[in-house]
Structure 1
Amino acid sequence: MVLPDVLHPFAKPSNSEFLTIVEGDGAVVRDADGREYIDAMASLWYCNVGHGRTEIIDAVGAQLRVLDAFHTFDIFTNAPSEELARELSALAPGDGFRVFYTGSGSESVDSAIKLARAAHARAGNPDRRLIVSRVPSYHGVTYGGLSATGLPANQEHFGPLVDDVVQVPYDDAHAVERIAHERPGELAAVIAEPVVGAAGVYPPPPGYLNELRRICDEHGSLLILDEVICGFGRLGRWWGAEHYGVRPDLVTFAKGVTSGYIPLGGVLVGPAIREPLEADPDFILRHGHTYSGHPVACAAGLAALGIMRDENLPDRAPVIGQQLSAGLQDLADRGLVAEARGAGAMWAAGMHPRVSAVAVRDAMLRHGVIARAIGDATVSFCPPLITSASQIDTCIEALEAALEDVRTA
């Protein structure tokens, strides 16, 4: 057996068979054999505006011809990074946010944790290092994000994780408050996805996120919302924070900011963090990434946001979500899946025991739809916001057909 030169992420290192995707257009991608698939996951939760958008492609090419790359450390900047930051600050779920750029969602989560701890230290509270996250949750794969991730399988084999990170059930705000009481003066931040995404698609209970806000306010903590998936229209507003009516202190983003055309991430940094960091004019924030504020990535972001705005794509999320919800709930009512759950245009079907989500995902490929198996119990959907009603119907039909295929195999 000859293995590929690429060691694939979240894959069996021993695997030698892969599906080669060669092109995409709208909500459809094609493989090397010319077969078409509806991209029911927007690739990996990110291609909100769909594939093949010439507006982004042209913006990237134009920027490469002017300034291909230059760093933003210390006294340097570039026009696309400044322009995109102005747009993101204007869109932020609150006033007074600045933008700290990264290259990915994992880097964004690490940055938010570091910024929260640094802000407390600069405010004279260096003991506030404790981070509370939730189970299940997904916050990335770098050591900070991995430590906050509520998926034990993801943490196996990687040795000691970051200290002072504790986890509670994703729907239990009282557990967060108990920790704040048990460890007074130590809580730096609570981190939460508005809707748990890659750990299974779990919306919050009613009022839950506002309860986290109250707890943070009462105990001197910061609230980090991980919007890497939920941001940029996925729940029907620009941010999940707006959808649920909650005020965050830090917001992590990536994925949808460029619709994945060029890697880009960042953190919206609110006043509670800015004030202690900006108070001393001689303080240096010794954190950043080589590609923070990369001009080509930021040009892609500007073009992607322009498409989102011009085509009112956030308004498409509830329309797509209603259709996915109805289709998945119909399968649940008929006993074909265990449950349907989701919010906005993020939905999942929970499988019955002894029904493999991976086998269902594989069978769906034969019916022309790419969904995502989360573990072996969930099949998830997060389609581009330009996906048509007939394409959503095809996704539901492919899931039903795949379930029958697996049942009779």
Structure 2
Amino acid sequence: MNDAARTGPALWSAQAHMPSVLGRQIVVTRGEGNYVHTTDGRRLFDGTAGLWHANIGHGRAEMAEAAAEQMARLETYHVFGRYLNDRAVELAERVRDLSPVADSKVILNSGGSDAVDVALKLARRYWQLLGRTEKTVILSRDLSYHGLHAYGTSVAGIDVNREGYGTESLVADTARFDTRDIEKVRRTVAGIGPERIAAIVAEPIQGTGGVIPPEPGYLEGLQRIADENDILLVLDEVITGFGRTGHWFATERYGLRPHIIAMAKGISSGYSAVGGAVVAPEVWEPFYESGGPVYRHGTTYSGHATSAAVALKNLEIIEREGLIGRVRELEGVLSAELGSISSDPRIAETRVAGFLGGIELRPEYPAERVADEMLEQGWIARPLRGNVVQVSPPFTTTDDEVRGIVAAAVSALDVVAPVDLAMAR
């Protein structure tokens, strides 16, 4: 054990190979608009909106005021049993009205991993309630990411997130299907047996997997498979929800009819820890009937009043400032800028869907090194699976800032020496 491990921060970083990050960690102390400031005096453009969430930018005083006002009145009260708090009720009704799922009910909790867990447990509980006890299997896409709680870990399509726990899946009865070819998906469903499948869960646009937009007709194909085989369709809109695709939900962009939508991140732009699930009538009605069972969900901070107040203010800002329309404009700018560099021989492919972009680099140009060099130049980007550099800034980004971060990726490539892949092996 080296000294850095003992003398370094007590905080164990998330999703980090600790020996590699010790001594290189960046401590962020302040956010302002589309930029963050660090303890070593740097001002960095937040080219990833944090973890895809800082949609309205950082440091908005009215968000802090909303939190302080709510805390002074009621910090929170739980929503178990007969109890509710007024801000949780208000937020749920706001989400229901924005949601593309008519007559939905809304479950609130603390974030995306919570949302996925509650959604997939609900999918299995629903079929048990209906007496279809054989329907337990949850299918998810190769290269998918659904958080790191037990269900999210179990359905992960990025294998390293699922491995090392002693069993193939923490939760029994999960399987993966092809992320691009809908006919291969049909064969997987047939091989398992649709009578055994409780739900298909999918990100409309895969984020951590490498910013992978759906192939034409793919999501519509998942919808047909679900409809034809009595399978619930669960959309993980933790990244795409609340504007990232130029619609309140990607469900609208792709014309889908999910039974459950998992949500988080953009509902509060990261100013409070809040997430949840939007549930279609087909799924919630059996639990509301006389004699129906309790669906055993809920955490201490489900429907947290201050988190709800902050989320409501965030949604107000998105609507008031026309930021969803702005996302559609930014998608065009990002698409043009990435298109202009796509012929660079160091770049394998560029991808854009909504205000999410990915620059897939040739293997000899490691995305981690390129992102590190971009950071040195004042631009935060993030290396993703598949040797991809992520570009997904706040909705408040200017056209020039989009051009700047794409230019920074090219500038970083000019600095990063290619790796000799034969020697690396």
Q: Is TM > 0.5 for Structure 1 vs Structure 2? A: yes
In structure 2, the residue matched to 1:167 is 176
Matched position secondary structure for 1:317: helix
Matched, 1:155 2:162: yes
Q: Tell me the distance in 2 between the aligned counterparts of 1:136 and 1:12.
A: 20
The answer to whether the 8 A contact 1:357-1:377 is kept is yes
Q: Tell me the distance in 2 between the aligned counterparts of 1:251 and 1:169.
A: 21
In structure 1, the residue matched to 2:49 is 42
TM-superposed deviation, 1:376: 6.3
Q: Tell me the distance in 2 between the aligned counterparts of 1:35 and 1:216.
A: 49
The answer to whether the 8 A contact 2:177-2:188 is kept is no
TM-superposed deviation, 1:94: 2.2
Q: 2:22 aligns with which of 16, 39, 50?
A: 16
Q: 1:301 aligns with which of 296, 302, 311?
A: 311
Matched position secondary structure for 2:16: coil
Q: 1:114 aligns with which of 97, 116, 121?
A: 121
Residue deviations 1:198-221, cap 9 Å, x none? 111000011211111111111011
In structure 2, the residue matched to 1:180 is 189
Q: Tell me the distance in 1 between the aligned counterparts of 2:172 and 2:199.
A: 14
In structure 2, the residue matched to 1:5 is 10
Q: 1:200 aligns with which of 189, 210, 226?
A: 210
Q: Tell me the distance in 1 between the aligned counterparts of 2:292 and 2:153.
A: 32
Q: Alignment identity in percent?
A: 37
Q: Tell me the distance in 1 between the aligned counterparts of 2:418 and 2:253.
A: 41
TM-superposed deviation, 1:408: 7.5
In structure 1, the residue matched to 2:221 is 211
The answer to whether the 8 A contact 1:173-1:211 is kept is yes
- The equivalences for 1:56-75 within 5 A come to 56-75=63-82
TM-superposed deviation, 1:320: 1.5
Q: 2:360 aligns with which of 350, 357, 368?
A: 350
Matched position secondary structure for 1:256: helix
Matched, 1:25 2:32: yes
Q: 2:414 aligns with which of 376, 384, 404?
A: 404
The answer to whether the 8 A contact 1:356-1:376 is kept is no
In structure 2, the residue matched to 1:128 is 135
Residue deviations 1:1-55, cap 9 Å, x none? 2221010011122332211111111111111122111101001100111111122
In structure 2, the residue matched to 1:190 is 200
The answer to whether the 8 A contact 2:76-2:85 is kept is no
The answer to whether the 8 A contact 2:109-2:302 is kept is yes
Aligned residue identity for 2:14: P
Residue deviations 1:230-285, cap 9 Å, x none? 11100000000001111111000000100001110100011121122222445212
The answer to whether the 8 A contact 1:357-1:375 is kept is no
Q: Tell me the distance in 2 between the aligned counterparts of 1:150 and 1:184.
A: 20
Task: Name the stretch that deviates more: 361-370 or 376-385.
Answer: 376-385
TM-superposed deviation, 1:118: 0.9
Any unmatched runs of 5+ in structure 2? 420-425
Q: 2:84 aligns with which of 77, 85, 97?
A: 77
Task: Name the stretch that deviates more: 172-181 or 376-385.
Answer: 172-181
In structure 1, the residue matched to 2:391 is 381
Aligned residues: 409
Q: Tell me the distance in 2 between the aligned counterparts of 1:327 and 1:342.
A: 10
- Rate the CA distance shift 1:263–1:38 in 2: closer, same or farther, 3 A: same
Q: Tell me the distance in 2 between the aligned counterparts of 1:187 and 1:376.
A: 29
In structure 2, the residue matched to 1:267 is 277
- Rate the CA distance shift 1:173–1:277 in 2: closer, same or farther, 3 A: farther
Matched position secondary structure for 1:338: strand
Q: Tell me the distance in 2 between the aligned counterparts of 1:407 and 1:322.
A: 31
- Rate the CA distance shift 1:256–1:264 in 2: closer, same or farther, 3 A: same
**Runs of 4+ that moved beyond 6 A:** none
Matched, 1:246 2:252: no
Matched position secondary structure for 1:407: coil
In structure 1, the residue matched to 2:422 is none
Matched position secondary structure for 1:101: strand
Residue deviations 1:276-304, cap 9 Å, x none? 22224452122211111000110111000
Matched position secondary structure for 2:308: helix
Matched, 1:337 2:347: yes
Matched, 1:320 2:330: yes
RMSD over aligned Cα atoms: 1.4
Task: Name the stretch that deviates more: 187-196 or 164-173.
Answer: 164-173
Matched position secondary structure for 1:141: coil
Q: Tell me the distance in 1 between the aligned counterparts of 2:386 and 2:209.
A: 12
Task: Name the stretch that deviates more: 399-408 or 225-234.
Answer: 399-408
Any unmatched runs of 5+ in structure 1? none
Residue deviations 1:326-356, cap 9 Å, x none? 2222222132311101201000000112111
Matched position secondary structure for 2:347: coil
Aligned residue identity for 1:16: L
TM-superposed deviation, 1:403: 0.6
- Rate the CA distance shift 1:40–1:112 in 2: closer, same or farther, 3 A: same
TM-superposed deviation, 1:373: 0.5
- Rate the CA distance shift 1:408–1:178 in 2: closer, same or farther, 3 A: closer
Matched position secondary structure for 2:138: strand
Q: Tell me the distance in 2 between the aligned counterparts of 1:27 and 1:218.
A: 45
The answer to whether the 8 A contact 1:190-1:223 is kept is yes
Task: Name the stretch that deviates more: 302-311 or 180-189.
Answer: 180-189
TM-superposed deviation, 1:120: 1.1
Q: Tell me the distance in 2 between the aligned counterparts of 1:408 and 1:276.
A: 59
